[in-house]
Amino acid sequence: MGGGCASIPLAYYSFMLPFLNELIGIRCPSGTIYMVKVEMEDGQLMLKEGWNTLARRGAVGADEIRHILEEITELELTPEMRARVRNIWLGSADRFTIYIAKVTERQISSGQMYFSRKFSKLIPDETMDVDMRFRGKDHITVGILKKANCNTYIRGGAWSKFVASHNVKANKIYIFKLSFAKGRATLTVSSALCD
């Protein structure tokens, strides 16, 4: 490690090449997720943008990375959407995880928001209150964040209220930013496109 970057071992190349010039989530031994950009420099794959923050706050070196997880769902995001994700990440000093997904009809009609199993692995196991807000709005809706059968849900009817209050629509891509402090979660939802 040096100069604000870390080399990616050759053993990881086949896994990391698809994420070239993309932000990925790196899970440190502490469990905190940091966003770092995969770049190519002189034929060497590197973790660069965001690495200084990871090394400083996560107190982690290149040889201490235990898991490299791509926390963004397998959706084809437009360059504008990717830029918006990057801006939301850069504009926050919080430690958080990002989930990008197309909200389904079922998530609207069932009255509960559920996250994928892959993303749920990054969320604490305990049930907790979650303060939900839509980016740019002051109103907060309080719900319950619960993990069951390896999936995480927002329950208690609060999701339905949130959907109605902020006109969340099915088949539209949203960015869900989750942070955790003192046994409570904060969820900020943004449209992946500037409306």
DSSP result, 55-74: HHHS---GGG--EEE--S-S
1 in a structural domain: no
Same domain? 87 vs 60: no
Look up the CATH number of the domain holding residue 129: 2.40.330.10
Q: For the beta carbon of residue 118, count every other beta carbon within 10 angstroms.
A: 14
Same domain? 18 vs 67: yes
The answer to whether the predicted template modeling score (pTM) of the entire model surpasses 0.75 is no
pLDDT in tens, 36-95: 888 888 888 888 887 777 766 654 544 444 333 334 444 445 666 666 666 665 555 455
DSSP code, position 160: H
DSSP code, position 22: S
**Predicted confidence band of residue 132 (pLDDT cuts 50, 70, 90):** very high
For the record, the structure tokens of 103 come out as 């909200």
Rounded to an integer, what distance in angstroms lies between the CA atom of residue 39 and that of residue 21? 5
91 in a structural domain: yes
Same domain? 56 vs 95: no
Structural domain that includes position 167: 79-191
CA angle centred on 142, ends 139 and 147, rounded to 5°: 140
Same domain? 52 vs 137: no
Last residue of a domain, one of 71, 91, 126: 71
Same domain? 64 vs 89: no
The predicted model gives 103-128 an average pLDDT of: 85
At 167, which amino acid appears? N
Same domain? 186 vs 107: yes
Same domain? 162 vs 133: yes
Query: Taking the mean position of all CA atoms in its chain, how far away is CA 65?
Result: 18
Same domain? 40 vs 124: no
Same domain? 53 vs 122: no
110 in a structural domain: yes
